[in-house]
Amino acid sequence: MLEGFAEYYSAELSQKVKRGIKENVRKGLSFGGTCPYGYKIVNKKYTINEIQRPCVIKIFQDYAAGKRLTDIIADLNTAPDYAGKGSIWNKCSLHHMFANKKYIGIYNAIMRKD
């Protein structure tokens, strides 16, 4: 009997957590984790970091123009105006950026649905 209650509680809790996460995304709220490069958190909401914004735009422009990732990384790691990440850029950094829903518009589209 206790096992049944535990299973029900676990399923219900999972549903509530998922609903909470969706609601936070819809409102544009941060709910933990590392803030992506190019964003900052103000009053628990993601906002664009104006200092890092040009770097993010340049990364996506270079990638869209067909520039190789190794060349983009070399530019990022040598140019002083791209500083602020806290560590060196690498392929993994860019792959995460290109797949992150906050950069590619999916996160913003979810926030606008009402």
Distance from C-alpha of 78 to C-alpha of 97, rounded to nearest angstrom = 19
Q: What is the pLDDT of residue 112?
A: 47
Segment 97-101 mean pLDDT: 83
Q: What is the pLDDT of residue 105?
A: 66
What share of the chain has pLDDT > 70, as a percent? 84
**Whole-model pTM?**
0.69
Segment 22-34 mean pLDDT: 76
pLDDT(35) > 90: no
- 2-112: CATH number: 3.90.1750
| CA–CA–CA angle 20, 47, 40 (5° rounding) | 95
Mean of all residue pLDDT scores within the chain: 81
Confidence band of 111 (pLDDT split at 50, 70, 90) = very low
